[in-house]
Amino acid sequence: MQLILSNKNDAYVLTRAQILGIDSVVFSKIDLEHNNFVDDLLKRYKIDVIILAGFLLKVPQRLTEKYKGRILNIHPALLPSYGGKGMYGMNVHNAVISAGEKESGITIHIVDEKYDNGSIICQAKCKINHDDTPETLAEKIHSLEAEYFPVTIERFLDTIEIVEES
């Protein structure tokens, strides 16, 4: 891991990056959408693959095209259900519980130009009990994320081919 980027200056990942000696940079939505700030950082650090976790902004098309097939995201539901704009975190868990679903889970997928739309790499499920709340479901989902995301990232990195830019 070469660089941690966050659009939230209070994100815990920034503290972890500092402890681990990994460079980190906080950027704004404008930096991502309307100028080359993020693009320049990715180029300077020679970033080949982007892993998203807890990232709520839409990745601009210029980046999904440049990193086609090399941006991975984790989503706290079994896509294609409960995906799309505004479907993140507790919004997802509230919707799942309100709908009376019997199971939920996580989806790890390739990022493309649409929200929660790319090819699915991994899904893991958990049962929803009759007494589960959005909060208890969130705990189950966090456990699945911790179990499956690192392993899936490793497998993903082993299977992609990086082509050097000329």
According to DSSP, residue 35 is labeled S
- Confirm whether 34 is a catalytic residue: no
Phi/psi of residue 20, nearest 5 degrees: -85, -5
The amino acid present at 73, given as its one-letter code, is N
Question: Cα(158)–Cα(40) distance, rounded to whole angstroms?
Answer: 26
For 5, counting Cβ atoms within 10 Å of its Cβ (0-12 exposed, 13-18 middle, 19+ buried), the class is buried
Query: Which residue out of 75, 109, 130, 142 is catalytically annotated?
Result: 75
Catalytic residues: 75
